[in-house]
Every structure is written in C-alpha cells, then in structure tokens.
Chain A
Amino acid sequence: MAATSNGKANGATRWIGTRPVRPDGVDKVTGRARFGADVHLPNMLVGKVLRSPHAHARIRSIDASAALALPGVKTVVTRDDFNDLSSEFVPAGEMLVNYRDVVRNVMAREKALFEGHPVAAVAAVSEKVAREALALIDVDYEVLPHVLDVVDAMAPDAPLLHEDMITAGVEPAPTKPSNIAKVVEFKLGDVAAGFAEADIVIEREFSTQPVHQGYIEPHSCIANYSEDDQAELWCTTQGHFVVRGHCAKLLGMDVSKLRVTASEIGGGFGGKTVVYLEPVALMLSRKSGQPVKMTMSREEVFRASGPAAGTRVWVKIGMTNEGRITAGEAVLKYQAGAFQGSPVQPGCMCAFAPYDLDHVKVIGYDVLVNRPKVAAYRAPGAPQSEFAVESVVDELAKRIGMDPVELRLKNAAKQGTKAAYGPTFGPVGLVETLEQAKAHEHYRAPLKPGQGRGVASGFWFNIGGETCATLNLGEDGTIALVAGTPDIGGSRASLCLQAAETLGVDVERIRPLIGDTSTLGYTFLTGGSRTAFASGMAVVEAGKDMIRQLCERAAKVWDIPVEAVEWSDGEARPAGSNAGEFDPLSLADLARLAGKTGGPFVGRAQINAQGAGPSFGTHIVDVDVDRETGRVTIERYTVIQDAGTAVHPSYVEGQLQGGAVQGIGWALNEEYIYDDKGRLQNPGFLDYRIPVCSDVPMIDTVIVEVPNPTHPYGVRGVGETPIVPPMAAIANAVEGALGMRFMDLPMSPPRVLKALEDARIAEAA
C-alpha cells in the first residue's frame, strides 16, 4: 500500500481514517472530566505514607503508638498488616511482577530498599492531621551500605539487596547470592563467523540514566471497604483489572468482591501499570471502616514510582566495506531497582530488530540496585538498547562515507526477516519509513553552519492479549460501547470509529464508556500499544455479534431464512432478488422492534487478541549546539512511522509527536541525581526538567500505512515506537554538528560543555 502523509486509509472505509472530535473531549476542555484525585466521598479520610529516608536499611521495629494517640488519627498500617506472599510471576504490561516483591514494594518488610520505600501509612480526618501523625511514627533503622550503579551492583563484594537472590538463567546455578537476578540470551547464527566476514568492526559502550515517565497526574485513589468484606476502589490506572488482581491478592479477597473503576487517567506511559497506593488505601479503609483517599505528591512520584531503567550497554557490529552488516553483538546491563524485573528482556529482543541479520548475540543482565523498582516506560527497555545500536550504525555509515539512510535500507528488516528473538516478520513498514525519509524535503534541506542532522530507526513488537467489549443497543438505535482498557490518549475515539465502520452507522450514534471491573470480563491493561489493536478487534467482533442478531430479527420480521438477509450501510436488506422484496430495516427500526421480536440487542466479544503487528519508525532531527553554554537545541524534527492503518490520524500524529518529545527529554536533560547517601536530589519538575513548550519546534509527522493483516482494518499499535529513535537520532546529529560522539546520556549542557572543554585542552596539548 502506498505511503501517505495524511494518514487516510485506502478509501474503502467510511469512518476509519477520519478525524471526528473525541467523545470525551468536551469534558476534558471544561474541567468536567474526573481524574484520580477529583472525587470526594462522604465521611472520607485522608491517607498518607511514611517513607524510608535511607537507601538501604534493616527495619528493626516500628512504633506507631504516639501517632495512633493523636486526635483525628483513625488507623495505621505497617508490614504487619499484610500477609507475606510466595514467589509468583504474573504479567503486567510487557513486564512481569512477582507477588512476593509486590507486597514488599507496597510496604517494606525486612528492609527498606530505596529512599522513599513505604514503611507505614496513616489514615486521619485531614491531610494536616495525617502529616502530623507520620512525624510521630518511630522507626528504628539499621542503616546498611547501599549501591546505585549497575556495574557496582554486579561486583562480587557489592552490598546485597536480597540475601537469597541466586541468579536465574545460568547453568550451573551459582552457589552464592548476588544482585544479578537473571541473565537472558538471544542468539541467531554464529557471531564469530559473522565478524570474520566483516571488513570493519566497531565496538562501543553506552550508558543511560533512569528517567521518569513524568505523567502530570500523580498517583491517586479512593478505597471504600465495607464491613461485609466487599470494596470499591476508584483509581488512576492503565489497567483496573490488573489493579483488582494485585489488590485482591495482597488483601486476601475474592476478585468478585472488589470493584475497581478506572478514573480518567492523566498520563501513564507504562508507569501506571502497577500498584503503589491502592492496596494500602484498601487496608486503611478496611481497618478504619471509612473511605480513604490517597494521593502522591510530585516528590513521592519521583522518589517511589517508575522510573525507566538506567543502563550500561556494550555493542559490537561488523560490516563489509560495501555496507552489509555481518554480525551484531551486545551486552545489556539494566537496573531493576529494588526488586527484580527490569525490561532487559525486551531490550535484548529489540536491540537489532531493525536489521536483517544472519548472526546476532545479545546477553542481558537484570540487576538490583537501591533505587525505586523500575516500571514500564513506553517501549520498556528498547530505547536504551536501540540508542546504542543506532549510534554504532551511524558511526559505521560515516566510516565508509555512506548515507545513513542508505545503509539502513541495505540492511533493513522486512517481510520474511527472522528476528533474533524468534519470530519471522510478516508485512512490516521499516523500508517504507526509510524511503519516506530519503524522499522527505527535511532530509535534503540545507543545514546552517554548526548544525548537525541525525537519523535513527526504531522498533517495538506490540502486544495483544485478553480483551472484552460490549455494544448495548438502545431503544432509539444509538449504541453504548463498553471497553475495559483505560483511555490514555484518545482510544475511545478510535474504538467508536471501528464500531461505526463495522456496523455502518454514524460515529455520533455511539457513546463509549470504560466499564468498571464488574461490567466486563477480564481485560488486560492499556499497555504494549495494544488498545487500538486489541480493544479494536474486540469492538469489531462485538459489532459482528450484534449484526448476526440484527439479521436474525430481520429474517423473523420478513419470515425468510437468515441466510437471505445481509447487513449493509447500517441496514438489514434482503440478500439479492431471490430473498424477496422488503424495505430495509435500519438499526433504529430493529431497535424499536426489539421487544416484539425477541428482546434487547447486546453485541459481545471476549477475545485473546493475537497477531499484534510490530511498528517501525525512522526519525530525522536537526540540532544546533551552543558552544558557549553546551545547550543542544532541536531545530527541526520529523517522525515517520508505520501505523498499519491510522484509525484517527490526529491521535496517531499525537502519539508520534509526544513520543519524540519524551525522547528529546531523555536525550538532552532528564536524569536522576543522587547524593552519596543514595538520596534523590532532584525530585521535582524544576530540577528534573522535562521538555517545555519553548524547548521544542513543531514535530512533523509522516504516517506510513502497511496494514497489519491480522487486524480487520489493518491496525498496528503506534504508541511506543516513537520514543525509541530520538536518543540515537539526536546523538548522531550532535556528532554531525561537533564531530564528537556522545555515548552517555543525557547530553545536557554541563556534559556537552565539559566534552567541548576537554577537546579544547586535548587540542592545545
């Protein structure tokens, strides 16, 4: 299919590819939309968390008696209130969680493992009283040596976070514990043979710092636990069914007795796929018998939630003088934070995915450090490993004087390419994005003196998974669409368009709702770029289910066989002249007749969506480097990505633009700064600086459409891939501007300035 710049599909569709106003739009521009912290309940208490001031400390005792004696304090929760849980891994987005660790992350048990680790929580009549109570809780700590750096944590004499941690994935199993939770390996072919074919081999080591997802809405929830052991929970989350499962497990409840409602969500990017406050609020509510509201401050968000893994990545790539890549090898060391489960596995899977290679070897280490447990952040693990690979590929191109887009085209993954992590790709759009890049006016535009241009490609595999959807036909022929995936960036608009297309009705006649956990069957969370794909597939299936019912009723009304009825343009019609002469029956006609023909119409789907098509993108960026201040300015930026089919092109563009700007922040500014005691020094938006409006230019987008054959309308997830290329694209552009390659992120003004000064000193010497 031809690549297009306006995202319009192939013309055979009526609704897919259009840009209606989103159904939740007016609520969001008037302040009416209710986010996590926007609800108040009668008789509500306020819950607050006491957090460890130490990066690593044994908790000898906790005495909350003085806090409990304070007037207005209703209850206190500590480790003693939660049962210990055995080791059991369950999926959470593209990552796994272990309940033994979840219960400890929510409330420290034997030890506090990072600064900000919860050690107690209090519920009181007001925030003021709750704060006073926290100061009265006496925790006796034995401070232990801590470790923050991933390489230091792998050393044999490093302080151990978990004294019983034996590295998994190594044969024979080590006899001594370490901070290395897991080693993973992906291999294809024989890298030694591949490097033997190479004329040029480049190996480099890269580092990235932990960065926070930076959603503007802090975590927040209200729990209301009743005396008959049932509870309601309102919270901001990417997956209320997952929250229900985790909370029920931690509180020893039946899932059916816990009804979780997802509020409007003020950003997540992967960071709201896990639980922090929710089980604590439920426990405080259970003990106090009153509703409890808990909201994190921004400082708490930084100290105790997220971030993306900080990493050390070594990459070696071999290439012939003609520009054919012969082998790729990498070693990835990813910080997991205080509990195992860094995204090193997806990091390994994605590292060389944009290339059609015969010989690949990638080894990954999942390493514990005294930092908050990492959470998924948009294509978790991929930006770090692909930053390294795409930087080396750029260096290889420059070494032989080949255009970097040309080099990528020569080696690009395409349909039939076997990826090192297993699958053979179906139709994928990397080549199309590279061709678009080559043809784009941006790529040929002249640069001003001192500026540099960089390109990089990126990959994310995308996921499907368990998904339900319901379409309820109203008596006037309008439809309530119920989905189970929280809408984080316009997915309700996309789901309505897919339902309208399937049923052949005006999209304005469909009203969407994100149902709570009691209204739908289990539905996995919004993550892995799966919502437009998987909930979309479920909505289409539900639409077909409803069409079957509608055709049956029309057959009944006309007294003809159901096979003689077809559904077309939102109407039941006799299928051909042999079926008889009848006036069409519209959705509204059939809805009106429902009571007389057999009862209400409900279209349902419960699916396990398979075949999420991977998405590739290619970014072009121009930078200007201020040699006096070290500031890198993004002068121009173009994102080109395969969306399969862009259902609502405006929100596809929005994903591409937003992902690119998050990547700009990751590349240029964002990092956690710790003191020598392991305490975070920049837990706020003033000192942890995410891109602001004046930092960036317009972000041009080109949507490529190579339909995903497994989705009825060709949809691929688009949300995650756009954060993958920016770091390398910008580093490659900075190299173009300065002739200096930065292998450590962020390329912040102090680092750039230091590199420039070091170069000046070296030149003078």
Chain B
Amino acid sequence: MAKAHVTTTVNGDPVEFLCDAEQTLLDVLRDELYLTGSKEGCGSGDCGACSVIVDDRLVCACLMLGVEAEGHSIETIEGMANGDQLHPLQTKFLEHAALQCGVCTPGILVAAKSLLERNPDPTEIEVRYWLAGNLCRCTGYDKIVRAVLDTAQEIRGG
C-alpha cells in the first residue's frame, strides 16, 4: 500500500511526511522526523514516556496514528524551551534533581506543562493524579511532584 502524505505542524513549524497506515505518531516522530525526545516505554499507552500535546490535548503519541496528525498541531519536548530559554518546568526539574535516568523526563515535563496550562495552582493530590499516567521507576516521584508545585508557584509569581 502506498504511503500516506501528511501535512501537519510540529512545534510551530509546518511539517510534511510520508507514513505507512499502521505507523503511530510516535514512530513518525522518532523514525521519520528524528525527534527522538519522545520515548517508547511500552507502546500501549501505559507509561506516558511518549506524551505530546496535540491541539492543547495531552496524548500518548504511541496511541495515535501518524496519519491522524493531518491538519493538527503537535507539541513535543523538543519545542518546550523557548530558543535558548528553558521552560520554568525544565529549570525546576534540574534544581530539584527531579530526574535520575531521565528517560521518563520528557513525557513528564510535557504532561506537567499541560497540567499547569489548565490549572496554575494545583494541589499535591492534583499533581499526583494528573501525572499518574507517567511512570517513573527511579525517583519515587517525590522530587518530581515538588518540582511541579514549585514551578506553579513561580509562574504565579509567588
């Protein structure tokens, strides 16, 4: 079967790619566009390491087909910093040592950004439930939750 031609927006830039019908958005990001910041930890939507934002909605890129990206706007970890300025979440994750191996970190940052855009003043419980779809095996989540809460406070001007 011929490959599909897809026109979409990735991190604000117009992007075109060809993909097989069964290729996931994650396959396309990683293997066609070489945006390898989104990770495949499970391929079944259970670990959140491939979290991306599609039109303001947080999704697992492994659960969406590449062809479904047509006409949508996709935001990945590679688009999180603003030029040479890290996003406040990125800075706080570094300050709080909220990562060890770092493989879940891109997905967690994307998910946390999506949370703070909806809820600038989340409680600890709200952070924990929002991030419940993002597995981290190294940290025990403590420093991650603290980093997110601290970022929220900083963005609010506290």
Contact = CB atoms under 8 A, between A and B. Distances in A.
Given A29-B90, A29-B93, A658 B100 contact: yes
Contacts of A25: 93-94, 99
A654 B98 CA distance: 8
A35 B138 contact: no
A22 interface: yes
B143 A684 contact: no
A70 B36 CA distance: 30
Interface stretch (A215-223, A331-339, A550-558, A609-617): A215-223
Nearest to A24: B102
A26 B43 contact: no
Given A218-B40, A662-B137, A694-B128, A30 B102 contact: no
Interface string A674-717: 00000000001110001111111011000000000000000000
A265 B101 contact: yes
B46 A216 contact: no
A217 B103 contact: yes
A693 B134 contact: yes
Could you tell me the dominant secondary structure of chain B's interface residues? loop
13 contacts: A29-B86, A29-B90, A31-B38, A31-B106, A37-B39, A38-B36, A216-B39, A216-B101, A265-B101, A266-B104, A298-B47, A691-B141, A693-B127
Contacts of B138: 267, 489, 654, 658
Given A40-B34, A489-B101, A657 B140 contact: yes
**Those 8 A-B pairs whose CB atoms lie nearest each other, nearest first:** A31-B37, A266-B103, A28-B102, A661-B140, A650-B97, A657-B140, A685-B46, A31-B77
Interface in A503-549: none
Contact of A684 (B37, B42, B142): B42
Contact of B137 (A21, A34, A216, A651): A216
Contact of B100 (A31, A490, A685): A490
Given A21-B94, A21-B95, A269 B137 contact: yes
Given A490-B97, A658-B139, A698-B145, A30 B36 contact: no
Contacts of A4: none
A657 B101 CA distance: 14
Contact of B128 (A28, A216, A693): A693
Contacts of A28: 99, 102, 105
Contacts, number: 185
A126 to B, nearest CB: 9
B11 to A, nearest CB: 11
A30 B135 contact: no
B47 A33 contact: no
A318 B139 CA distance: 38
Nearest to B37: A31
B67 interface: no
A694 B132 CA distance: 6
A29 B94 contact: yes
B40 A37 contact: yes
B28 interface: no
Contact of A690 (B99, B106, B135): B135
Contacts of A40: 31, 34
A488 interface: yes
Contacts of A214: 137
B20 to A, nearest CB: 7
Contact of A216 (B41, B97, B141): B41
A19 interface: yes
B53 interface: no
Interface in B128-152: 128-129, 131-146
A298 B102 contact: no
A608 interface: no
A651 B142 contact: no
Contacts of B61: none
B49 interface: yes
B44 A684 contact: yes
A699 B143 CA distance: 9
A684 B46 contact: yes
A648 B96 CA distance: 12
A29 B36 contact: no
Contacts of B144: 693
A215 B95 CA distance: 24
Contacts of A19: 97
B105 to A, nearest CB: 5
A693 B44 contact: no
A83 interface: no
A651 B97 contact: yes
Contacts of A24: 102
B44 A660 contact: no
Interface residues of B, number: 60
A685 B77 contact: no
Interface string A642-657: 0000001011011101
Interface in B53-98: 76-78, 80-81, 86, 90, 93-97
B137 A215 contact: yes
A754 interface: no
Contacts of B31: 40
Nearest to B144: A693
A267 B138 CA distance: 7
Contacts of A215: 101, 103, 137
A176 interface: no
A297 interface: yes
B154 interface: no
A216 B142 contact: no
A760 interface: no
Interface string A456-492: 0000000000000000000000000000000011100
B99 A35 contact: no
Given A654-B138, A658-B140, A699-B142, 7 more contacts: A35-B36, A216-B49, A654-B100, A654-B139, A657-B140, A693-B127, A695-B132
A216 B94 contact: no
The winner among B37, B81, B100, B132 for most chain A CB atoms within 10 A is: B100
Nearest to A36: B103
A488 B94 CA distance: 16
Nearest to A220: B40
A692 B41 contact: no
Given A26-B86, A699-B140, A488 B101 contact: yes
A32 interface: yes
B10 interface: no
Given A30-B81, A30-B90, A31-B37, A651 B100 contact: yes
Interface string B17-53: 0001010000000110011111111111011010000
Given A30-B78, A30-B81, A685-B47, A661 B37 contact: no
Given A21-B94, A264-B102, A693-B132, A298 B41 contact: yes
Contact of B140 (A217, A660, A685): A660
Nearest to A268: B101
A692 B76 contact: no
Contacts of B43: 297-298
A697 B97 CA distance: 18
A128 interface: yes
Nearest to B79: A31
Interface in A1-48: 19, 21-22, 24-26, 28-35, 37-38, 40
Nearest to B90: A29
The winner among B43, B78, B143 for most chain A CB atoms within 10 A is: B143
Interface in B95-124: 95-97, 99-106, 109, 124
